[in-house]
Amino acid sequence: MSPRGIVEAALAKNLDIIAICDHNTAENVAAAFRAAERIGRLKVLAGLEVSSAEEVHVLTLFDSPETAEDMQALVYDHLPPRTNRPEVFGEQVMANEDDEVEGFNERLLIGATDLDLNTVVEEAHKRGGLAIASHVDRQSFSLLGQLGFVPEGLALDGFEISAFADLEQILSQYPELANRPILKNSDAHFVDDIGSAFTEFYLAKPDLAEIKMALKNENGRTINKIFSRRS
């Protein structure tokens, strides 16, 4: 997917806020910010989906591309020193806001870092960001799939479930998620999947600080509902 294409697809689906969270990288976040600023009417959160040493995926979300890139620098320092194989894993494109290819990321981004789960969460918080456990209902690369439980003291800000997952079924299987902030996101890897699932918040304005309050149910900010919609 391309930065401008993502922004245009999000607006076509009437989304107000999106997050760019590529796997272990934030290389395309700034371009998406610039595309959104040019077109208007869309708030972009800066992020990356970090793979911990336990192979648990965590969405780390920040206010600015610069902060996400600072988190990226930490992640790059803790990735195995391996080179991507495009013929196996595909090209890792870096594009600008006009969807012009500016280069290719040669790191092997599909792997796990050697940062443990607690460290990933703590480093996101140090940078003023959020840490949300990704697609916890999946068997692979998820908190519950890898560990089978929510570790005591792990300061996650929320728990994401897959686009078409059944919340009641998940809560019956994992009752420890009850009364915790649950989100649905599209986790889109293709443009047509953008907006296939989303979370509706009550916020005063579309920014990370407001979402932080909603996840804590503070000052009238709340998660209203999670949605799935098929095209």
Residue 7 belongs to a domain: no
| C-alpha dist (Å) from residue 152 to 16, 114, 155 | 34, 21, 9
Residue 150 belongs to a domain: yes
**pLDDT at position 40, please?**
83
67 and 128 in contact (C-beta within 8 Å)?
yes
**pLDDT at position 230, please?**
62
Interatomic CA distance for residues 134 and 159, integer angstroms: 7
Residue 84 belongs to a domain: yes
**Residue-number span of the structural domain to which 55 is assigned:** 49-89+110-228
**What integer best gives the mean pLDDT of the chain?**
94
Interatomic CA distance for residues 78 and 221, integer angstroms: 36
Q: What are phi and psi of 4, to 5 degrees?
A: -65, -40
pLDDT digits (tens, 9 = 90+) for 23-38: 999 999 999 999 999 9
**pLDDT at position 39, please?**
87
Residue 126 belongs to a domain: yes
Residue 172 belongs to a domain: yes
Structural domain count, the chain = 1
In this prediction, what percent of the chain has a pLDDT beyond 70?
99
Instruction: Check whether 231 has a pLDDT greater than 60.
Output: no
Is the pTM higher than 0.85? yes
**pLDDT at position 185, please?**
93
Mean pLDDT for the stretch of residues 124-152? 95
Instruction: Check whether 52 has a pLDDT greater than 90.
Output: yes
pLDDT digits (tens, 9 = 90+) for 153-204: 999 999 999 998 999 999 999 999 999 999 999 999 999 999 999 999 999 9
Residue 2 belongs to a domain: no
Residue 77 belongs to a domain: yes
Residue 80 belongs to a domain: yes
Mean pLDDT for the stretch of residues 8-21? 95
pLDDT digits (tens, 9 = 90+) for 92-104: 999 999 889 899 9
Which of 190, 201, 199 lies closest to 226, judged by CA? Answer: 199
pLDDT digits (tens, 9 = 90+) for 88-131: 889 999 999 988 989 999 999 999 999 999 999 999 999 999 99
Both tokens assigned to 33: 């910010």
Residue 93 has a CB neighbour count (10 Å cut-off) of 15
